[in-house]
């Protein structure tokens, strides 16, 4: 019974909608043809070959007329006017000269028998016009000359099927195309709109916009409506989980600071009382505590930036001053590792920014480049409609499938979890979120010749 459940509420199923729209298109096309056939004047003629009893009866009538005029010496007109013929169907004898043509009955003024002229050279046909149906011709020879016999059936009202049959082919094709286009457009729009909405929401969600939702009407009960609402519920749960994860990370980091502070204080007191043999261990404890303190600070900063709760101290500042300050430390660090830092371009533009946050972002990017570069790190500064800062190294680069993950907190390319090989995985996350907080963007890419490039884009203050 489950397979027939759609019969209870058919409008809740796409199968029924597609089936219905298909037949609506056919019905709409037929209705348009019927309507147009009733309001247009049709002068077309259609015909089909004549076979069987109708052809034999017409041939028998032609022989009777020939026999009557030749054997009984009657005129063709008298033969046609005989009561036996006038009580039957309308007979039309088409002559070579149209004015010599004869009929056995009077015909209405709106019936044009001259439409049959083109059929005289054809074998017997069933000929359809708007006002009448004719069968013929059969050629007869009488003393008055040669004639072509037709049997005429005049309509009181033109049958619908005949009006459709006589409509020009281009009109039929045009109506079919227009009707199917209009109805198919309406159906496609109804079908594709929720799919496009789902697609846009999925793209935004995958890009990190946790507020993205599909615009699906609550009244839509079919499979697409159900899918859209399920997608929105999934997005709600995903947003809640990620929000809870970030909140948990921030709370844990915040709570760790108190015992860490006490640990550092206890270490300091122990150093004052410890002997020389114990000092190396206490110094190691102090170093790790400081490293842990910095890591907790980074985690808190990432959490605040991702939650948009970081209070930015915005001031108009020359970007060149910020870059120069960062380069002083970066150049020194590069020399310590026997690597060369090359700088090109200028950033003599004004930026409305949090100086410390922008400096931290650039510092993290440069340190990452210095760490993985083999010999050279390049920094290129450009500005036009925006500020462009490109930082590249000549290191091994990153697999393309991991580029989008590099800016995720705690992600490290290497599977090793020690800080020597992979760091904490927070530097690039801080850099990206700091740049996004200023309305900019950070894009990571591999150079064709090897190495990783970070392209930073920041908006310029318009004077």
Please report, for residues 237, 322, 330, 352, 385, the alpha-carbon distance to residue 462 in angstroms, rounded to integers and kept in the order given: 41, 19, 30, 10, 9
Enumerate residues 6+ apart whose C-beta is below 8 A from 165. 46, 128
Dihedral sign from CA coordinates of 414, 338, 376, 331: positive
Three-point CA angle 214, 219, 223, nearest 5°: 65
DSSP strands (E only) in 311-432: 315-318, 340-345, 350-353, 376-383, 386-393
Enumerate residues 6+ apart whose C-beta is below 8 A from 64. none
Cβ atoms of residues 79 and 157 within 8 Å: no
* DSSP line for 122-133: SPSEEEE-SSEE
- Active-site option among 9, 82, 254, 337: 254
Cβ atoms of residues 256 and 230 within 8 Å: no
The two tokens of residue 13 are 């199923």
* DSSP line for 106-118: ---TT--GGGGGG
Which 3 state secondary structure label does DSSP give 377? strand
Cα–Cα distance between 112 and 415 in angstroms, integer? Answer: 94
Pick the closest to residue 129 from 107, 106, 145, 148 (CA basis).
107
- Cis ω for the linkage preceding 137 (within 30 of 0): yes
- Assess whether 254 carries a catalytic annotation: yes
Cβ atoms of residues 253 and 303 within 8 Å: yes
Backbone φ and ψ for 317, nearest 5 degrees, come out as: -140, 145
Cβ neighbours, 10 Å, residue 351: 24
Cα–Cα distance between 204 and 209 in angstroms, integer? Answer: 5
User: What residues are annotated to the active site?
Assistant: 254
């Amino acid at each position: 019974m489950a397979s027939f459940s759609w019969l209870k509420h058919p409008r809740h199923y796409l199968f029924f909608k597609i089936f219905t729209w298909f037949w609506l298109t056919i019905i709409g096309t037929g209705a348009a043809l019927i309507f147009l056939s009733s309001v247009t004047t049709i002068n077309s003629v259609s015909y089909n070959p004549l076979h069987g009893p109708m052809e034999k009866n017409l041939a028998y009538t032609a022989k009777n007329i020939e026999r009557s005029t030749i054997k009984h010496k009657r005129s063709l007109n008298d033969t046609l006017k005989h009561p036996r013929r006038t009580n039957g169907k309308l007979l039309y004898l088409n002559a070579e000269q149209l004015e010599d043509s004869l009929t056995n009955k009077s015909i209405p003024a709106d019936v044009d028998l001259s439409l049959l002229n083109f059929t005289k050279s054809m074998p017997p046909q069933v000929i359809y016009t708007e006002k009448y149906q004719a069968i013929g011709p059969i050629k007869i020879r009488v003393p008055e000359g040669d004639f072509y016999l037709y049997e005429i059936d005049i309509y009181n009202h033109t049958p619908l099927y005949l009006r459709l049959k006589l409509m020009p082919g281009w009109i039929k094709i045009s109506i079919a195309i227009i009707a199917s286009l209009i109805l198919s457009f309406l159906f496609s729009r109804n079908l594709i709109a929720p799919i496009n909405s789902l697609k846009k929401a999925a793209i935004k969600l995958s890009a990190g916009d946790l507020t993205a939702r599909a615009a699906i009407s609550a009244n839509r009960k079919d499979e697409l409506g159900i899918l859209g609402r399920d997608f929105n519920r999934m997005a709600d749960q995903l947003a809640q989980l990620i929000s809870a994860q970030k909140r948990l990370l921030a709370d844990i980091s915040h709570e760790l600071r108190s015992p860490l502070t006490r640990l550092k204080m206890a270490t300091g007191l122990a150093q004052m009382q410890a002997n020389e043999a114990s000092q190396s261990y206490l110094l190691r404890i102090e170093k790790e505590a400081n490293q842990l303190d910095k890591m907790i600070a980074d985690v808190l900063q990432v959490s605040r930036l991702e939650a948009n709760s970081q209070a930015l101290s915005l001031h108009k500042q020359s970007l060149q001053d910020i870059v120069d300050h960062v380069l002083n430390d970066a150049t020194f660090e590069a020399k310590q590792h026997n690597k060369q830092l090359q700088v090109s371009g200028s950033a003599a533009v004004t930026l409305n920014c949090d100086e410390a946050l922008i400096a931290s972002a650039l510092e993290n990017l440069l340190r990452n480049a210095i760490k993985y570069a083999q010999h050279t790190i390049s920094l290129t500064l450009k500005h036009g409609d925006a500020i462009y800062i490109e930082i590249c190294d000549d290191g091994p680069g990153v697999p393309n499938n991991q580029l989008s993950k590099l800016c995720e907190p705690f992600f490290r390319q290497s599977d090793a979890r020690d800080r020597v090989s992979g760091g904490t995985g927070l530097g690039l996350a801080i850099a990206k979120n700091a740049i996004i907080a200023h309305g900019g963007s950070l894009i990571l890419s591999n150079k064709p010749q090897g190495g990783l490039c970070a392209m930073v884009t920041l908006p310029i203050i318009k004077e």
